[in-house]
Chains A and B, each alone.
Chain A
Amino acid sequence: MNQLIESAKDIFQNNKAAIIIGYTKDKSGRTKPFIAHNSDEAEKLTFNHHAVNNLAVYLTRLEKPKDGKIGIVAKGCDIRAINALIQENQIRRDDVLIIAMNCNGVVENQNEEFSKENTQIKCKYCQLRTPNNYDFLLGELEDFELPEDSQQELMNKLEAMTPEERWNFWESQFGNCIKCYACRQVCPLCYCEQCIVEKSMPQWIETSSTTRGNFSWNLIRAFHQAGRCIGCHECERVCPMDIPLTLLTRKMGMIAMKEFNYKHGMNINEPTLIGTYSTSDNEDFIK
């Protein structure tokens, strides 16, 4: 990844950014998030098929550097998160320096070699392999056909269920939730300073890991993502209990597309779906 390192060093040498959020390989061979603060540290940057994290999450978590922009290495799905944060007025485009990567798909398991078949679900329906908003664009796009979208099958199965069957499905899934809130912390669009589960006067959402408490948390999380989720699948990737969380957020994204022809995080100049109202909005789907 010489191209990336060269660009990063150039950015530091010419003071184009104060830090660069990117990926590095640790001594055990794991590719993981890394923050370079200077040209020497830029040597450690890498990008490969295991660069799975959505680094846009750090844009609202890190303190804004006093002396320059935040540089960020971003794949297409990460770019959608950055775009969404700009659309939602959480960051300003001028405050970030985007080093975009053409992406040929990522694989979740660090010990697995990349192949078309084991790419993350999100790669299977990715429409932004070449990012659409950047300061630099690096990497070569390899020619490959998107693999079969395996999640679609499960979505169809859920669609075909009766409400009772669907309730039972989610009851057994949410039953596993241990409330570690990794899904929330890893989500680039979960940036509230105080999450509703932390409001305790009154306690709106029960903190217990019971059926009621788990439904409350997981459904409120999903609702807050309605038409906002940009589909990076980080929540599902990090869930220690493997709850298929993106079934809910992806489904809502599909509804937003079908009913309002809207897809979040695609264009920084487009007003957000939730933030706009039009008298011609379709209401047919509200039952």
Chain B
Amino acid sequence: MKSFIVTRSQINSLAAELLSKNWSIFTQSEDRKRFKQCESESEISVDGNGKPSDVSFKELFFPKSETLFYFNRDNEELTLLDPAEPGTKTVIFGAKPCDAASVPVLSKVFNWDYNDEFFNKRVENTIVISIACSYSDESCFCTSVGLSPFSEIGSDLFLIPTEKDSFILKIVSEKGEKFINEFPFMIQKEFEGTFDLENQKASFPKEKFDFASVKEWLGKNFKDEIWNEVGELCLGCAQCAYVCPTCHCFDIVDENCGVSCGRRVKNWDSCQFGLFTKHASGHNPREDQSRRYRQRVNHKFNYYKQRFDEILCTGCGRCTRGCPVSIDIAQVLEKIQCKQSAAIV
């Protein structure tokens, strides 16, 4: 697909035009906490240098609380009412490659045995404009899960900063192409050169572990001392899961909205909570934190790969940065890789 040269002011014009046409626009907030909705084009952040937001943009596709339907009982009659369809056309500006890559990963599970219409509608209505990432810290590990700061997976359009206020705009998906064709001023100057990705590789985060070895070890070692080592320190909150771009567990509950009406809601949930697997009988197959942490790692780096041929992790490092007790998942996986190497020798 084609690439074009665009300036920062053209990107601002695009945002202004979208706003005037009632599109919703999201971008990273200034404090880099989360993705916020913009009211003016001047708020747009297309910054490859910045830290990934503390909370991923997952909530724009899979909200933390989402009403499935409302119910109302009038005398003996029960009526059901659909919630408003998530119909707003949305553009996300300045997503990181480790954010964007989560969308196709999540799509697999949300279209597995059941098509989640809420999620699908949001994906259909959203254009993801990502930017090549030049940030990395001790928690980043995108290169260990098959991605890189230049990965275009999950993006519709991809920006590569060239010089000050100038970018290469790559069209990545058909949806992105159709979208950008509506804004001719963005596709005036075609980029005909080649971008030398090899040159950039020296600055990529170092590969911390070999995924294939990790997966192999996980498949063979359900019981191991390592789970107790991490489990005794893990406090069992869900921060790692809730800031994660790929964690997708939810719970479904009924809540009242008044005396005779209520709603069924889908809320984020996490395998790190004790209640998550507790049976009605009182039995809990994952009765302690070591078992719960083992589940988290296996789901991400073993089961999901088996079932969907995807790694349930984009290496963004949010779980590590946010962990109250600084558990570094990449360090845990490095240790696992060492165990696997030792087993082979």
A213:B55 contact, CB within 8 angstroms? no
Residue B33 lies at the interface, judged by CB distance under 8 Å to chain A: yes
Q: Given the interface contacts A185-B324, A186-B235, does A209 sit within 8 Å of B267 by beta carbon?
A: yes
CA distance A240 to B33 in the complex (A): 8
**CB-CB < 8 A to B55: which residues of A?**
178, 240-241
Interface contact A179-B64, CB-CB below 8 Å: yes
The yes or no answer to B124 lying at the interface (CB within 8 A) is no
Distance of A26 Cα from B230 Cα, bound (Å)? 13
A27 in contact with B324 (CB, 8 Å): no
A178, A185, A198: the one contacting B235 at CB < 8 Å is A185
A213 touches B324 (CB 8 A): no
What is the 8 Å Cβ interface bit string for chain A, positions 231-247, against chain B (1 contact, 0 not)? 00010011011100000
**Residue contact B253 to A240, C-beta cutoff 8 Å:** no
Query: Per-position contact with B for A254-278: 1 when CB-CB < 8 Å, else 0?
Result: 0000000000000000000000000
Contact assessment for B324 and A209 in the assembled complex, using a CB-CB cutoff below 8 Å: no
Q: Which of A98-157 contact B (CB under 8 A)?
A: 110
Of B19-27, B151-159, B173-181, B238-246, the one contacting chain A is: B238-246
9 A-B contact pairs sorted by A residue (CB < 8 Å): A26-B328, A32-B327, A34-B233, A185-B237, A206-B253, A207-B253, A210-B65, A240-B33, A240-B242
User: Contact residue range for chain B?
Assistant: 35 or more
**Are the C-beta atoms of A27 and B64 separated by less than 8 Å?**
no
A-B contact count (CB 8 A): 100
B328 contacts A240, C-beta separation under 8 Å: no
Does B328 contact A180, Cβ atoms closer than 8 Å?
no
A234 to B323, CA, bound (A): 12
Chain A residues within an 8 Å CB radius of B241: 180
Inter-chain contact B328/A208, CB cutoff 8 Å: no
Q: A53 near B65 (CB under 8 angstroms)?
A: no
**Chain B residues near A (Cβ < 8 Å):** 31, 33-34, 54-55, 64-65, 138-139, 232-233, 235-239, 241-243, 251, 253, 255, 265, 267-268, 270, 273, 275, 322, 324-328, 331
What are the residues of chain A within 8 A of B273 when measuring CB–CB?
Answer: 181
A15 to B326, CA, bound (A): 29
B324 is contacted by which of A35, A61, A186, A206 (Cβ under 8 Å)?
A186
The reply to whether B233 and A27 contact each other, CB–CB distance below 8 Å, is no
Q: Which of A11-33 contact B (CB under 8 A)?
A: 26-33
A209 touching B64, Cβ below 8 Å: yes
- Taking A26-B331, A207-B267 as contacts, is the C-beta distance between A32 and B237 under 8 angstroms? no
Which residues does chain B contribute within 8 Å of A241, judged by CB atoms?
A: 33-34, 54-55
| Chain A facing B: main interface SS | loop
A98 CB to closest chain B CB (Å) equals 20
Contact B235 A208 (CB under 8 A): no
Q: Does A160 contact B (CB under 8 A)?
A: no
Number of chain A residues close to chain B: CB under 8 A: 38
Residues in B whose Cβ lies below 8 Å from that of A229: none
Assess whether A42 is interfacial by the CB under 8 Å rule.
no
- The residue on A at minimum CB distance from B334 is A27
The answer to whether A203 has its CB under 8 Å from any CB of chain B is yes
Partner of B325, one of A29, A53, A203: A53
For window 174-196 of A, CB contacts with B under 8 Å fall at 176, 178-182, 184-186
Chain A residues in 8 Å Cβ range of B326:
26, 30-33, 110
Say yes or no for A62: interface residue by CB 8 A criterion: yes
- In the assembled complex, how far is the CB of residue B257 from the closest CB belonging to chain A, in whole angstroms? 10
> Assuming A30-B328, A185-B324, is B253 touching A203 (CB within 8 A)?
yes
Bound CA span A204–B5, Å:
56
CB distance from B232 to the nearest CB of A (A): 6
Neighbouring B residues of A242 by C-beta, 8 Å:
31, 33
B237 x A182 contact (CB < 8 A): yes
Question: When A and B form their complex, which 8 residue pairs have the shortest distance between CB atoms, in order from nearest?
Answer: A32-B326, A185-B237, A182-B237, A28-B138, A238-B324, A185-B235, A208-B65, A209-B64
Distance, CA A29 to CA B57, complexed state (A): 29
Contact of A179 among B34, B138, B233, B268 (CB under 8 A): B268
User: What residues on A are CB-neighbors of B232 within 8 Å?
Assistant: 35, 62
B255 near A33 with CB under 8 A, answer: no
Once the chains bind, are A178 and B325 in contact (CB under 8 Å)? no
